[in-house]
Amino acid sequence: MPKDAKRRRSSSTATPSEKAAIAQLVKAARERGEDITGPEGLLKSITATVLEAALEEELTDHLGHVKHRAPEGGAENIRNGTRAKTVLTDAAGEVVIEVPRDRAGTFEPVIVKKRQRRLSDVDAVAISLFAKGLTTGEISAHFAWGYLPLAGAVYGASIGKDTISRIT
């Protein structure tokens, strides 16, 4: 394998501002004496934050309006708080997340399904797709086909490009 190909494959596609933000997070965690990984580490916190943001965007897509702004003409179904859920991840261990709810009870989350307790390779998928620089269309296509080769996992979920864009 040529040196350049290996270097391109392992390099991050994060923008300079994203790299600076990540560096600040790591530096702040170390200054507070927190681990990057481990039971109360930075990775656990980031994993929870990313999952919660993805769930919020899924609910926004489901309801058809953003939080704190009902659609014109009123809404039959609106947000109805959250519920705590503990999921087990490969990289961060047990992570407590807040799963949003809707009043009608029709919201079916995709990223963390109802009654799902284990997220195999979700951390790896999120980090790999981000690092590989996939477009929203490519990520959506991977979910639509139900297979993410980067994680070696089958998901079988249909997520639109707009939702992917809001999540990322």
The larger pLDDT score, comparing residue 58 to residue 142, is at 58
Considering the chain, what percentage of its residues have pLDDT values greater than 90? 23
Is residue 29 classed exposed, middle or buried when 0-12, 13-18 and 19+ CB atoms within 10 A define those classes? middle
Distances from the Cα of 100 to the Cα of 29, 67, 83, 126, angstroms: 28, 11, 7, 20
Helix (H) or strand (E) holding 132: helix 122-132
Task: Give the predicted TM-score (pTM) of the model.
Answer: 0.63
The tokens of 10 are what?
Answer: 């392992």
pLDDT of residue 167: 57
**Lowest-confidence range among 38-42, 73-77, 118-122?**
118-122
Lookup: tokens for 58 = 């899924």
Predicted pLDDT of residue 119: 79
The CA-to-CA distance between both ends of the chain, in Å, stands at 31
Residue 138 phi, psi dihedral angles, 5° rounding:
-65, -40
**pLDDT tens-digit readout, 4-19:** 444 444 446 778 888 8
Predicted confidence at residue 120, as pLDDT, reads 65
Helix axes of 16-31 and 42-63: crossing angle, nearest 10 degrees? 130
Please say whether the beta carbons of 139 and 164 come within 8 A: yes
- pLDDT tens readout for residues 19-37: 888 889 889 989 988 888 8
Is residue 87 scored above 80 in pLDDT?
A: yes
- CA 73 – CA 83 distance, rounded (Å): 28
User: Can you read off the two tokens belonging to residue 166?
Assistant: 């809001």
Place of tokens 């809001």: 166
